[in-house]
Amino acid sequence: MQDNPAILLPMIVLLPLLGGIINGFFGKRLSKQAVYFIANTAVLGAFVVSVQSFFNLRAAIAVDPSAAFRYEAFRWIAAGSYSFDMSFLLDPLSSVMILVVTGVGFLVHLYSTSYMDSDEGVGRYFSYLNLFVFSMLMLVLGKNLAMLFIGWEGVGACSYLLIGFWFKDMAKAEAGQKAFVVNRIGDIGFVVAIFLLLAYGNGSVDYDSLKLMFSDKVATVSHAPTITLICLLLFVGAAGKSAQIPLHVWLPDAMAGPTPVSALIHAATMVTAGVYMIVRLNFLFALSPHAMTVVMLIGALTALVAASIGLVQNDIKKVLAYSTVSQLGFMFIAVGAGAFAAGIFHLFTHAFFKGCLFLGAGAVIHALHHEQDIRKMGGLAKKLPVIRMTFLISCIAIAGLPPLAGFFSKDAILVETVAFAPEIEKLQTYYGPGFQRQAETMALGEAIRAGKTAADVDRLRIAEKAGELQKQWRTSVESLAPWRKVAFGMGLLAALMTAFYMFRLYFLTFSGTYRGDHHTFDHAHDAPWPMALPLQILAVLSVGAGWLGTPFNHGHWNKFYQWLDPVLERGKYLVHGHLDVKTEYALMALSTVVAATGVALAWSLYKAGPSEKMANLAQSVRPVYQMLLNKYWLDEAFHALIVAPLRGVAQFLFQLVDRLLIDGLMVRAPGMVLIGLSHVGRMVQTGEVQTYLLGVAVGVAALAWYLI
């Protein structure tokens, strides 16, 4: 096995699949403890193998910086020039993802053994949970877009099953349907993009083949509009899966599922798939500055809008849901700005503190017998000391206060958003041959149209044309730089709101006096060990994971960036620079002050529970407050503009096609005709001799008339 470390890769994927199959088919016949053992062992085994694979890869990279493990299982599809292999790839990017998916996934499984213990459907629940982890591992370990798409659709299907797990409750079932349908909208763009890549390339969507194809400078320059279209379509898919405006509406409703499901979906798996996909295809996105600017601005808008909605939510899980949407917006700001490593770094740290927050919220709900309204909480600090401490640590981390994990990753995003200084020499070196070739093609076309030959082409004119093309490209890239400042400002404002609403949530839950049913309060208890241990582990990671992002100056390579460098090829495709150290430290200080201001505002208004000052403020700006409370009426707008018209069209087509054409004309009409004919036959076949004689007489008369 050590001779071929890649042999471990299928094992990482297959262990959760095996656990899901066993519990899916036999869960009802097994005891709860057996179900727990199978599900947890499967994911823990995948985590152990992932750690072993990570260290194997680390040892290989120490010898060869470009090392990666590839495992070709079998040829999946072969049709003409098109072929897809069932193959796996472990490189620095996928190694980070499998550690997050299996690590956080196992903690969620362990937590669920206590949280779901009283539920009758634990076999079904853990089967879905195992299959969810399997699908996400397929997504991140797949060596081509076809395998990524299998995992992509797999997590979508499993999210539908898990969000609507309590399907007897119609609201929960509809939430699962909503998540599934909205994701399908985004998937249309993703599928079209894959087809375009197949048509554009050589019939392969293997990452190695795509990277080789898009390193062709001639193709990348002369087909820039096509590349931009492909990138935008891919982003549509990413926006659906990772809940970016306007396809974000499914994620807050996903809170209908069990809380551990929310932690798994929102922290480490499904919602990060879109970010991973863009970073995996960084070599493609980096060739379209316009597409990346769209990604960055949509991310900034999502971060700001979701954070503003989170300011006034009163459901503990809804606050965290909009927080997730906002933090995903930060990740898209990063990848849109070309800070791919910073985006993955925030994905990495976010998995820990957001996982801790959701599991902490679940522990609070569990302790208060399913109470989720933070207006009916308060004073829980002494009752729930472990939950309270881990929740506080995670709040500090997500607020971006030093020295916890969120400070390092969020600062990296904000800094690299404005750290834009095109390196013209690298631009000329990389794209120069492409501009030269495109100029030659254009000059040759002009010569042919003028009735000349290739020998008559003016070489000086070619050089001038190449220079013009290069200048146009450079101007286009530089013209997008101001939008980075816009994204930076929106991100900074979203960071202020994040610190405020997270500590509003903390103070309303744990500070002041209890405002709910005191019988519930008297029986509240701290988390049992299967719930407390994951909370404590995630809290520790929320403190320490960010230190992988040091040294502070991102102009020098830190450990995390160094690890991802072979995949991202920083400096080769992307044309952005870095700020000087003084400016960077100034921006770090600014982001810290912004976060501290948000925390201070929350403390002044909510330290003892809901305050009269805040109620008066909400009343004075009631239209704004109502707009935020109603989430900008985006769900209502979707229903009025999209859902209701589509349902109306569907109902019309149902009545016209199904009822009238199919049921009426094709099914019932032939039967009615035969019934009518049978009535005519019965009128003739009466059994009376006189009637028969009359019929013979009429027949003879008619025949005679015809013959004469």
Residues with Cβ within 8 Å of 194's Cβ and at least 6 positions away in sequence, in order, are: 145, 146, 149, 205
Per the model's pLDDT, the better-predicted residue between 443 and 247 turns out to be 247
Mean pLDDT of 204-213: 84
pLDDT digits 0-9 by tens, 496-522: 999 999 999 999 999 888 888 888 888
Query: By the 8 A CB rule, do 261 and 155 touch?
Result: no
Residue 611 has pLDDT above 90, yes or no: no
pLDDT over 90 (residue 433): no
What tokens does 630 get? 């109603």
583 band by pLDDT with thresholds 50, 70 and 90: confident
Flag the least confident range among 72-81, 116-125, 182-191, 235-244.
Answer: 72-81
* Residue 402: CB atoms within 10 Å: 16
How many of the other CB atoms lie within 10 Å of CB of 546? 28
Would you state the structure tokens that stand for residue 276, as one six-digit string?
A: 């991973």
* pLDDT score of 455: 59
Q: How confident is the model at residue 1 (pLDDT cuts 50, 70, 90)?
A: very low
**Structure confidence at residue 571 as a pLDDT band (50, 70, 90):** very low
Confidence of residue 59 (pLDDT cuts 50, 70, 90): very high
Beta-sheet strands, E only, within 160-306: none
What residues are paired with 86 via a beta bridge?
Answer: 74
pTM of the model: 0.87
Helix ranges, 575-668 (H): 581-606, 612-620, 622-629, 634-638, 644-653
Residue 85 β-bridge partners:
75
Structural tokens at position 648: 């109306």
Calpha distance 7→109 (Å, rounded) = 26
Tell me the CA distances in angstroms from 42 to 12, 46, 240, 555, 705, one per residue in order: 9, 6, 29, 41, 92
Of 315, 299, 376, the C-alpha closest to 631 is 315
The ranges assigned to domains in the chain are 1-143, 636-707
pLDDT of the residue at 233: 95
pLDDT for the residue 226: 83
Residues in Cβ contact with 661 at an 8 Å cutoff, skipping those fewer than 6 apart = none
* pLDDT > 50? residue 167: yes
Predicted pLDDT at 445: 67
Inform me whether the pLDDT recorded for 18 exceeds 70.
Answer: yes
Instruction: Kindly state the average pLDDT of the residues 363-371.
Output: 88
Q: How confident is the model at residue 221 (pLDDT cuts 50, 70, 90)?
A: low
Structure confidence at residue 539 (pLDDT)? 94
Give the mean model confidence (pLDDT) for residues 382-406: 92
DSSP 3-state of 597: helix
| pLDDT classification of 397: cutoffs 50, 70, 90 | very high
% of the chain exceeding 90 in pLDDT: 38
Maximum average pLDDT range among 226-230, 414-418, 438-442, 615-619:
226-230
Taking residues 228-238, report their average pLDDT. 93
Do residues 164 and 180 touch, judged by C-beta distance below 8 A? no
pLDDT digits (tens, 9 = 90+) for 638-689: 878 887 888 888 888 888 888 888 888 888 888 888 888 887 777 777 777 7
Q: Which residues pair with 315 in a beta bridge?
A: 373
Read off the pLDDT band of 575 (50, 70, 90).
very low
Give the max Cα distance, the chain.
118
Buried b (16+ CB within 10 A) or exposed e, 187-206: bebbbbbbebbbebbeebbb
* Assigned token pair, 466: 């190449």
3-state class (DSSP) for residue 372: coil
Name the average pLDDT for the chain.
85
Q: Which phi and psi angles does 392 have, rounded to 5°?
A: -65, -45
Average pLDDT over residues 288-307: 92
SS (H, E, C) 119-132: CCCHHHHHHHHHHH
Given a contact cutoff of 8 angstroms between Cβ atoms, the answer to whether 13 and 47 are in contact is no
Q: How far are the Cα atoms of 182, 228, 328 from residue 185, in angstroms, in the given order?
A: 5, 20, 19
Average pLDDT of the residues in 198-218: 76
